[in-house]
Amino acid sequence: MTETAGDAHAIFAQNFSTDGLAFEVLKSDDVVEGDPLIENATLHQSDDGTLLIGVARMSGGATRYEQPADEIDYVKSGKLIITSEQGDEIVAEAGSVTYLKKGIVYTRNAVEPYEEVYVLFSEDSFEL
């Protein structure tokens, strides 16, 4: 049962499989290396635009991002390297959980094709 506080969900849970999800192919204007294939499927988006939950897949290259909101990722499969503009680097593999702070600029390199579940959240509404 979902409890609500006002119009916002106080509790949200969803069991899912990526089988049968409708993935949208995204194009990046900031390709750093290769010809990356980026796919996204939205699982939930709040009405006020402050929360987005989804599944992303990427393979074949690297792209540059400016983070629009705080983000927590669970890497389901594959391997990626995230490198900040300051040179900090993390390697995320299947089973890894990562956190990206709103406003950070970084490169996401799909060393192996990967799939992740992500949660983006912010006090203010945002768009990808």
**Within 13 Å, how many C-alpha atoms sit on residue 77's CB side?**
8
Residue with tokens 């949200």: 12
Q: What is the pLDDT of residue 3?
A: 44
The backbone torsions φ and ψ at residue 6, rounded to the nearest 5 degrees and listed phi first, read 70, -135
From CA 15, how far away is CA 29, in angstroms rounded? 33
- 29 pLDDT band (50/70/90 cuts)? confident
30-60 confidence digits (pLDDT tens): 999 999 999 999 998 999 999 999 999 999 8
From CA 111, how far away is CA 82, in angstroms rounded? 10
Contact 78, 115 (CB under 8 A): yes
Q: What is the pLDDT of residue 5?
A: 45
Domain architecture of the chain: domains with CATH:
25-120 (2.60.120.10)
Residue 29's alpha-carbon distances to 35, 67, 88, in angstroms, are 11, 14, 23
Is residue 62 pLDDT above 90, yes or no?
yes
